[in-house]
Structures are given as C-alpha cells and as structure tokens.
Amino acid sequence: MAHPPLEPIEALASATAQSLGFLVESVVLHSHRAPQALIVAVRKGDGSDVNLDDCASFSQAFGEALETGELITGAYVLEITSPGLGDVLQQDRDFRSFRGFPVCVRQRDAKGGEIQREGTLLGRDADAVELNLRGRIQRIPRSDVLEVRLSSPSA
C-alpha cells in the first residue's frame, strides 16, 4: 500500500483546527501499523488547555473532512491528542503556558559537553531560561539551551 502524502493531510488538519480555534502542533502517520494510525496533536489558539471535549469536537470535524477529501486509503485510526508530558517547549506561548511545571533542560556546559538540569520552569526571556532548582533560581543563557522538555515531578 502506498503511503499517502502528509502535506495535504497537514493542510486539512490546520484548516479544520483554525475553524475551531485550535492550532495543529504535529501530524504523524504511522503507516506501519495495522490499521494505520493518524495522530494529530492540537492546542487552543489562545494557549489555554485542550480538554477531552475539545479533542472530540476536532476529531469529529477533521474525521468528516478526511473522509470527504479521501486523503487516506484503506483502514485507519484517527487519534487526537494535546501537548503533554515529554513534549519539547519551543514557542514563547509554551513557556508561558507551562510556567510552574517540572522540566528537564539539556544544555551545553563550559567545556562544550552536555548536561541536564531538572527543575520548575519559571519562564523564558530574550536572554535566558529561568528555573527553580531546589529553591535556587538558575538562569541558563538561551544560547546554551539545547532543549527544554516537560517532565514528571521528582519524588
């Protein structure tokens, strides 16, 4: 079975999301599964949390649009998710939305290697990512930050 091109599916997902006040974070097609799985991660345009009803309304609208557009042939499962644990923070909105959440920061050290720090996200400005590391405020220069990822709370 030929893999459907992802671009038209992404465009349809974005158009459907926009009409409902959402933004598409990612579109992934797992064609190696039986049936294949189309996984779409959405968030609200205003940065507020996506709930189960939001996922259901997007799923219904997007599912109907997919069937009408006949973009995927054969059986498939449509999964709608929201950004969650394990997700990489990238946009300023992400850093505002997840302020106070536990994160893992991968950064360059002084010797050019990599280190990881886990703490509570306080924010990000033009110069640095700010964390609370066990009660101490740590500012990590943005130029040294490789990745900021949501994590589970430490015990």
pLDDT digit string (tens) for the chain, length 155 residues: 556 678 899 999 999 999 999 999 888 888 777 788 888 989 888 877 788 889 899 999 999 999 888 888 888 899 998 766 457 888 887 888 889 999 999 998 888 788 999 999 999 999 999 999 999 999 999 999 999 988 876 54
Instruction: Give the residue extent of every domain in the chain.
Output: 6-81, 92-150
In the chain, DSSP assigns E strands to 22-30, 36-44, 76-81, 102-108, 114-124, 128-133, 136-141, 145-150
The CATH topology of domain 92-150 is SH3 type barrels. (2.30.30)
Q: Which CATH superfamily is domain 6-81 in?
A: RimP-like superfamily, N-terminal (3.30.300.70)
Query: What is the DSSP code string of 104-132?
Result: EEEEE-TTS-EEEEEEEEEEE-SSEEEEE
